[in-house]
A and B are shown apart, each in its own frame.
Chain A
Amino acid sequence: MSEQQTFFSNLKCRECGRLYPKEAIHICEFDFGPLEAAYDYDLIAKHINRDVIASRPQTMWRYRELLPIDGSPTVGAQVGFTPLVRADRLAKHLGVDELYIKNDTVNYPTLSFKDRVVSVALSRACELGFKIVACASTGNLANSVAANAAAAGLTSYVLIPANLEKSKIVGSLVYGTQVIGIEGAYDQVNRLCSEIAGKYGWGFVNVNLRPYYAEGSKSMGFEIAEQLGWKLPRHTVIPMASGSLLTKIHKAYKEFIKVGILEEQPFSVHGAQASGCSPIAEAKKKNSDIVKPVSKPDTIVKSLAIGTPADGYYAIRSMNETGGSADDCTDEEVIQGIRELAEYAGIFAETAGGVTVACARKLIESGKIPRNESIVLCITGHGLKTQEAIHGHCGEPRVINPSLREFEALIANDAAVLQTQN
């Protein structure tokens, strides 16, 4: 493989198609549409195939030709290739035949899918010469920027809503990053970051580096296809905050078909949101592509609480193009979803994972996902990060004295309960 050969040629406006140089810019000067990496797919098709990919190390960078950096990755070279787990007990519980969990709760190094996007954004930031990197974040992104910047020796600033879960705040502070808590919702943090990015010239991974950053999410889609044995799941259920992950998994599936790694095949991408902040799901359910902003998100699912989702329109378009659907679920359903995933698949997900499970259940029960077709649930972050959301909802330990007699009394009681259940 020619590591130094560049397969991505330009940035391109998603609205009007105007081409731009590969710099730290993210909006079309003409119509304000978002810029996206453009690739030379004919060249890529000549360089990669299933065997070439399979021979490479098990990280997200085995799909390097389809990721927007010039050289070799310098940040996050070990990220990705998380397990795709066949979850038969959960499948039976939900009443479906074939169910898999794409388990990004164990992504390296910060236990969420955000390591994928940060790896690309910071590798590109280094290529562009940035010394200070930053982000607006609901928590997971902040953790990942802080950790990966520390490893790479970059100075970092992470801006977050001040009321985030404690574990997500500590999970940034520990890396020595500058954590700035903003008294406001994520959308206000985001607006402030746009102003700072313009004024200070820092590399904001999800503002001026967003065209590079967002592409990192594709690696989740590439991995799902490879791990399923080089085919696509008929249904993929994806949590939506800005909507970017959903659009990029859709793009990944299409790119694998475009470069000849997969044959044409039907697939649907479905979106999941929490009812307390579900602007994309609401628009999709109304069959509209106008996403009405939510000014005051109100949900325990803070990582999805984006009231003005930047990729809402494109997420709806991806769902429409693939025959997908969207749904949303209450906080109680989120907690139930977290518990089901833990009890039936042994995976402890953060609140966004509860949203994915709960919405998948609704889509299955409403017939939008047929019970006999293959399903992948994208589980994007670890439950240890949002423990306070489920605190008190999964029981308490039973405390006894260090006495065999007390233990035997407890077990005898359990055995009696078990017997009545059987």
Chain B
Amino acid sequence: MNILYIEDDQEIGQWVEKKLREEGYHTHWLTSGYQLPVDLQTYGVVVLDVMLPGLDGFSVGRRIKRQNPNLPVIMLSARTSIEDKLEGLEFADDYMTKPFHPEELLKRIEVQVRKYEKAPEKTISIGHLSVRLDQQVVVDQSSNREIMLTGKQFSIFHFFIRHLNQILTKEQLYEGVWGEPYREGDKSLMVHIRHLREKIERNPSTPEIIETIRGIGYRVRA
């Protein structure tokens, strides 16, 4: 896989390029974002520094995303303020701050690659389930039988899949699925999740797919 890496600092650049190469990635390292390669679509991931001479990393990242919306971009920056992170995450897929551990960078590249590689087939495996997002079909792989979900149940499940491994608060889930502000004390989300678990979990009393994170919300792990 090809990785486009843009970093102006020579020492860090050499180090990261070496690490990526060792991991088996073909790395194209640039020291500025002025001359992007024309064959951007051939790259699997872009790793981008923010403070570049001249054109800054945010502008370069936006330009890349405009040309190739499906190309994952990881920002790698010494700017740690929340404003910078928010600005970066508006278009980028991930934001890492320096000084970073190379292992973490490799792990994050892997996550992005996995996310985008799986996208074309649109089939995701979660525990004993296999989910075809385009056809809205959930199949129990152990019995190979389709699980019928109601529209709302599928919306909730789909929201979990879009935010795999993330802990979602009650508010985030409710507002993401229902599209209206969550009111404290509303039990409808809990009821829907209970019904969803009855259908997808092997044993709804000890759920394996939809984890409850006590006091915070829920999580579905890949």
A and B found bound together: no
The interface of chain A, by Cβ under 8 A from chain B, is: none
